């Protein structure tokens, strides 16, 4: 069992490290719960400005709506979703 957990951790770390730019993690309420960026990249605002806040409170309306649609799609299909801007 420990070997299985270790393999999952390695796989998950590999996935996160392969992300080309930025990863924003949101919960089902469209609240930012995490963030990962490629080394050297910075967000337009500090993490404390968006972590724990709803996408609709910090993003332009069209992007917040697109984000919510992708969350709904992820939940209904049980697949990872991405938005390229």
Q: What is the pLDDT of residue 32?
A: 94
Can you give 13-42 as a three-state secondary structure string?
Answer: HHHHHHCCCEEEEECCCCEEEEEEECCCCC
Predicted confidence at residue 61, as pLDDT, reads: 94
Q: Which residues of the chain have pLDDT under 50?
A: none
pLDDT tens track for 72-85:
998 899 988 888 77
What is residue 31's predicted lDDT score, i.e. its pLDDT?
95
Q: What is the pLDDT of residue 19?
A: 59
How far is CA 84 from each of CA 1, 24, 26, 48, rounded to the nearest angstrom?
Answer: 37, 12, 15, 23
Extents of the domains making up the chain: 22-85
The string of pLDDT tens digits covering residues 29-39 is 999 999 887 77
Q: For the chain, what's the residue count? A: 85
* Nearest to 56, CA basis, from 67, 42, 70, 45: 67
Structure tokens at 10: 């390695």
């Amino acid at each position: 069992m420990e070997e299985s957990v270790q393999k999952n951790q390695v796989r998950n770390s590999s996935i996160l490290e392969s992300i080309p730019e930025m990863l924003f993690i949101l919960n089902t309420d469209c609240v930012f719960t995490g963030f990962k960026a490629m080394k050297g990249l910075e967000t337009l605002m500090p993490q404390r400005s968006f972590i724990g806040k709803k996408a609709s409170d910090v993003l332009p309306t069209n992007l917040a709506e697109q984000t919510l649609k992708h969350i709904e799609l992820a939940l209904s299909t049980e697949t990872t979703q991405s938005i390229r801007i």
